[in-house]
Chain A
Amino acid sequence: MRAKILVVLAAALALSWPATAHAEPHGSHTGSHTGSHTGSHTASHTGFHSGSHSDDTIRYASIKSCPVKGGGTRACGDWRLVMHSGERTTLPDAQGVAREADGSSNGYVPAAIAISGNGRRVAYFTKKGRLAVRTLGGGVRQFARDALPKAAQYEVTLLLSDDGARLAAVIGGERPADTRVFDTETGDLLGTVPDEVSVLGFSGDGDEVFTSVPADESVTDLVVRGLTGEELRRATPPQVIEANVPQALAADGRTVASLVTGSRAELVTYDMDGDQVTGRKRVKLPAGDLHMLDWTGETQVTAHLAGHSSGATRMTIVQIDTVTGQVRVRDRYTVLRDSYVFAACGG
């Protein structure tokens, strides 16, 4: 199963707040899933340095939630990685709680992180403030000191392609800057995307950047760009694509998928070149809000559905055949209850 996922594509992921984050006092549920398992992880846990664990991949990253005096919670500690095997480890060289643009600690919110769709790569800020991508069973690629403009680490959104070969760094906040697209093997800057453009992710094979931008007459255009940032294709999609987010771009760089959730769930595909809805398949989905959607095969998309039960985030990952509408559950898990925020792998 993992092999299949490796072959395929799709990526993207954003930080997500678990249901638990602010709802319940942490530490009160130690049940089967979790426990506040922090600080004690050692390198011996990790799959990073050990060939024998090379088949294991990252399910998601999580950072612990700590109470704030006077109420509320904040992120604390290091980023933790939860593997598909269930093993847990920390990313020892990754910045957990974000630093401001001037290097001081924010104290509350975490620094950006991203997991590739195949679960083999993780992008983050090092404790020294450098952008880095780590490969399971491989090394760490540190990016140039000036890879990103000065920005607080929580103002940056990191997006990896499904195979982790490409990284997009979106710089938001009060002084947004153009999105930078990198090759994660070499750390080279491949191109930039203007800051007024929303970066939705990479195409299934990671060869295009999928974006959207406000257009004339109050509509939003979908725009496919090359890795250098140049516009390859643009379309104003029909309502059913525009209204059901997130959309995902296939490896062909022109087919877009949207998933309608709810009681009448449908997988909708749209061809940007022909400006045509090419398929609407009724699908049976498990409960949950659509969290991520990625193309993971020529006729397959993978959806992350996040449900909330008794204060925890329950993730169900399904593979949907875009031709038959058949749905297969690939994975299910409960996000660590003590999470302040988590970032799932895509795909």
Chain B
Amino acid sequence: MRHSSAAAALLAPAVAGALGLSPAAAHAQNAPPAARAAWIKACYDNKHQESLPCGHWRLRLRDGRDAVVRGAAGRGIDGKGRAGAFAGVFAISADGRVMAYERAGDHRLVVRRTAGGPVTELPPAARPKGVGSDEIDLSLSPSGDRVLIDYFDAPDRLPTKVITVATGSITALSPKHGALGFSADGDEVLTTRTLSDNTTAMYAHRLGGGVIRRTPPTLVINAATHAPAADGTTVALFTTSEKKPPRVRTYDLATGRLSAGAELPLKPDATPYLAWWDAGGRLTATVRTGEEGKTAVVRVLTVDPATGTATQADKYTIGSKGSTFVLAGE
């Protein structure tokens, strides 16, 4: 399943240049709105006797309009290059300004600003031979300058890759690690790994080199969502309880200090499932309601990790009739 966060994009500065997107998006003279999400509709396929993604991926913009992304493959391919019964890879950065997708035609993984402009190809190694689109878990750093790719290969042999979009340089992480996401500035990747004593250790990998590691309390590992801050050691957590509202806390990987945190003004089942620190250092979380395959109500909240105070930054609905969607930051 995919989703992402639409959020904080309001503060992004104006982007120069024309959209280069489809006619569905009427060109505005000023800064084009950031993307909240991307989606692709489903059509019943008589041959497969099931609903399959069809047509083009579309961006859902902050102003409510849709913009067709013609260059992106609507359907992915399997490991042998055949059309799959699943959508093509698609991701949007948390700030809603950058997207990554597999290109229609050659299925090469590429990165582009959601406002349009030149397409940056990721190195061919981003998509190892024999890896189907449904085996690729791709996410972008909050501002879209880096890409994290995990592969659902079994047994787990392919290293997780971190690619700097501008240079194409690749940092490989051991396949023994599971990635939880980028720090706010994209300079660190947070991972976990199970050790021989059956505990799970948490690591902050500095992409320039160096790693901080600690075995945290169970609560930290079991948290629903983790968001590493720009300092690379503070991790915001959202935990869930059966009968109490979700709670926000911070954990410092360098010192092991876990904050008492605070409950959020949310229902127990409204678990923030995406979270990141925006460019202004504010913690942002996305809450989604609605069952799988049905229309989702997405709320983007700015959260004070000390008090639990939450302010709604955005709210929208997306997904219906079996469509596939991915939220910004997912």
How distant is B187 from chain A, measured CB to nearest CB, in Å?
28
Q: Chain B residues with Cβ under 8 A from A220's Cβ?
A: 218
Instruction: Report whether A217 and B241 are in contact in the complex, using a CB–CB cutoff of 8 Å.
Output: yes
User: Are B215 and A218 touching (Cβ within 8 A)?
Assistant: no
Query: Chain A 229-242 against B: per-residue CB contact (8 Å), 1 yes, 0 no?
Result: 00000001111101
Residues of B within 8 A of A240 (CB): 197-199, 215
Which residues on the A side are within 8 Å of B244 (C-beta)? 216
Given contacts A236-B217, A239-B218, contact A260 B198 (CB under 8 A): yes
Give the distance in Å from the alpha carbon of A239 to the alpha carbon of B239 in the complex: 16
Q: How far is the CA of A111 from the CA of B295 in the complex (A)?
A: 49
A217-B222, A219-B218, A219-B219 known; A239 vs B241 contact (CB < 8 Å): no
B255 to chain A, nearest CB (A): 16
Contact, CB under 8 Å: A239 / B242: no
Query: Beta-carbon contacts of B208-224 to A below 8 Å, as 1s and 0s?
Result: 00000001111101111
B49 at interface by CB-CB < 8 Å: no
A107, CB-defined interface residue at 8 Å: no
Nearest B residue to A217 by beta-carbon distance? Answer: B239
The 8 A CB mask of A209-223 against B (1 = contact, 0 = none) is 000001011111000
20 more contacts with CB within 8 A, not counting A220-B218, A240-B215, are A214-B242, A216-B239, A217-B219, A218-B219, A218-B223, A218-B224, A218-B240, A219-B217, A219-B218, A237-B218, A239-B199, A239-B218, A240-B198, A240-B199, A243-B200, A244-B197, A260-B196, A260-B197, A263-B196, A264-B197
Complex Cα spacing A239 to B202, Å: 12
B228-251 contacts to A (CB < 8 Å): 239-244, 247
Q: Is A289 an interface residue (CB 8 A)?
A: no
> Shortest beta-carbon distance, A263 to chain B, in Å?
7
> B interface, how many residues as a size bin?
20 to 34
- Chain A positions within 8 Å of B, measured between CB atoms, are 214, 216-220, 236-240, 242-244, 260, 262-264, 266
Cα(A217)–Cα(B237), bound, Å: 11
A103 smallest CB distance to B (angstroms): 37
Task: Decide if the interface of chain B is mainly helix, strand, loop or mixed.
Answer: loop
Cβ of A269 to closest chain B Cβ, rounded Å: 14
| Chain B residues with CB under 8 A of A260 | 196-198
How many A-B pairs fall under 8 Å by CB? 60
Given contacts A236-B217, A238-B217, A238-B218, contact A216 B198 (CB under 8 A): no
Q: Lowest 10 CB-CB distances: which A-B pairs, in order?
A: A217-B239, A216-B241, A243-B198, A218-B222, A239-B199, A260-B197, A219-B218, A264-B196, A217-B219, A219-B219
- Are A239 and B217 also in contact (CB < 8 A) when A217-B247, A260-B198, A263-B196 are? yes
| CB atoms of B215 and A239 under 8 A apart | yes
Contacting A at CB under 8 A, from B154-200, are 196-200
Given A214-B242, A218-B219, A239-B217, A266 contacting B247 (CB threshold 8 A): no
Please determine whether A244 and B196 come into contact, CB atoms closer than 8 angstroms: no
A214 to B240, CA, bound (A): 12
Closest Cβ–Cβ distance, residue B275 to chain A (whole Å): 16
> In angstroms, how far is the closest chain A Cβ from the Cβ of B265?
17
Instruction: Give A237's nearest chain B residue, CB to CB.
Output: B218
* Alpha-carbon separation in the docked complex, A346 to B82 (Å): 57
Task: Report the nearest A residue to B199, measured CB to CB.
Answer: A239
Are B197 and A266 neighbours in the complex by a CB distance under 8 Å? yes
In the assembled complex, the Cα of A260 lies from the Cα of B241 at a distance in Å of: 29
Q: Which residue of A is nearest B240, CB measured?
A: A218
Contacting residues, chain A, for B242 (C-beta < 8 A): 214, 216
Contact A217 B199 (CB under 8 A): no
B218 touches which one: A242, A262, A263 (CB < 8 A)? A242
| CB-nearest residue of chain A to B237 | A217
Residues on B with beta carbons closer than 8 Å to the beta carbon of A244: 197-198
25 A–B contacts from the bound complex (CB under 8 Å) = A214-B242, A216-B239, A216-B241, A216-B242, A216-B243, A216-B247, A217-B223, A217-B239, A218-B223, A218-B239, A218-B241, A219-B219, A236-B217, A237-B218, A238-B218, A239-B215, A239-B218, A240-B197, A240-B199, A243-B200, A244-B197, A262-B196, A263-B196, A264-B196, A266-B197
Chain B residues whose C-beta falls within 8 Å of the C-beta of A238 in the assembled complex:
217-218
Residue of B nearest to A260 (CB): B197
A239 to B223, CA, bound (A): 14
Determine how close the nearest CB of chain B comes to the CB of A73; give it in whole angstroms: 31
Determine whether the beta carbon of A236 is less than 8 Å from that of B198: no
**Residues of the A chain whose Cβ atoms lie less than 8 Å from the Cβ of B247:** 216-217
Q: A217-B247, A218-B223, A218-B240 are in contact. Are A239 and B196 (CB under 8 A)?
A: no
Closest A residue, CB atoms, query B224: A218
